[in-house]
Amino acid sequence: MAINKKDRELYEKYSQKLAETLKLPNNKKFIDDYFSKIMVGSEIENLNDNSFEDWLENRLKPNLVFLDEKDYLEMAIEALETTGNIAKTNFGSAQQRDEMALWINKITGYLGELAFKKKLINDFNLDCKLPHSAGTAKENMPSDIPLIKDANEEGFREPNLKISIKQTKWSGVWLDLGTQHEKSDIYVQVKVNTGANLFMSYLNHLGFFKDVFLKKGVDEKIITEDKKDIISATIKKFENHSLFAYVAGFTKIEDTTFKYEGEKKTGRKWKIYHIKKAEGLLTQKILDNIKSENDVDKINIIPIEKFNTYPRYIVSISKLNYKKEDWKKIINQL
């Protein structure tokens, strides 16, 4: 979604502070890939000094978790251990993925779960076990926090609520549960910033390309030593990535009624209804009704346009619970 000149100038006023918080360079790409996404997701309704500071200090910073190299290594090993045994399909579809892509995807998912674990420890002194043992995705899905232990408890126990942790990229503005909305009691959205080519950067950091892969090319006289150095130098250094997770919030489903907010826009040859915020079980029939009631040609779910299949339970990030007192209510029920 292109950013108009007026909005870009406004975003530039606040982007430096956000970039410093996320430990990222403040440039045009940052505004396009990071700052604009909090606006698309309506995390800040009307951007001004007060609304930005409120979001930054009371929503983002208390729920921001930075991860390090050891965290990445640990999750990569656990993901590798389970990759051969988990379901090799995307949830909700039959699309097959090869094992390398599956491994990388699991690393990111596990980093999201680890970030949530760190938040529980840091904010509530509540430790937990993560379900990273060999098994199927179906078996692991009902509870991503199978065991917990409060500071006053001697050992781990099963929590009283089932928690599901859903990982998205920073750009994700929807907590999309598909048809899994009855599997857990609490659904948490964690936005993980692994950055572009992080996995390659980590392999390079370990010396895989320079000392193994590209060295083999030199040994076989496919490339020269100079070429090896040139190729390895093009890969971004692992330490230059900002590895963090934003625990955006949670929802507890008590009503599946689809509630939405949006607006109708009309052009010379088109009429479109844009859904900006929503929560509930969305079906094709509901979409058809919205289309008919608003007399439009098309429904656009911002910013993705549409989901692949229906029905599916969705929650916009702006409607998630994120305050410490919200989390505390859930912690007390565990």
- Above pLDDT 90, what percent of the chain? 82
Per 3-state DSSP, the chain is made up of helix, strand and coil in percentages (nearest 5) of 45, 20, 35
pLDDT in tens, 259-312: 999 999 999 899 999 999 999 999 999 999 999 999 999 999 999 999 999 999
pLDDT band at 136 (very low <50, low <70, confident <90, very high): very low
What is the per-residue pLDDT for 94?
46
CB 334 within 8 A of CB 184: no
The model carries a pTM of 0.90
- Average pLDDT of the chain is 90
196 has pLDDT over 80 = no
pLDDT in tens, 15-40: 999 999 999 999 999 999 999 999 99
8 has pLDDT over 90 = yes
CB neighbours of 203 closer than 8 A, spacing ≥ 6? Answer: 209
State the average pLDDT over residues 72-84: 87
Looking up tokens 């702006």 gives 318
pLDDT in tens, 113-127: 999 999 999 999 999
First to last CA, the chain: 40
Cα–Cα distances (Å) from 163 to 7, 109, 182, in that order, read: 38, 14, 11
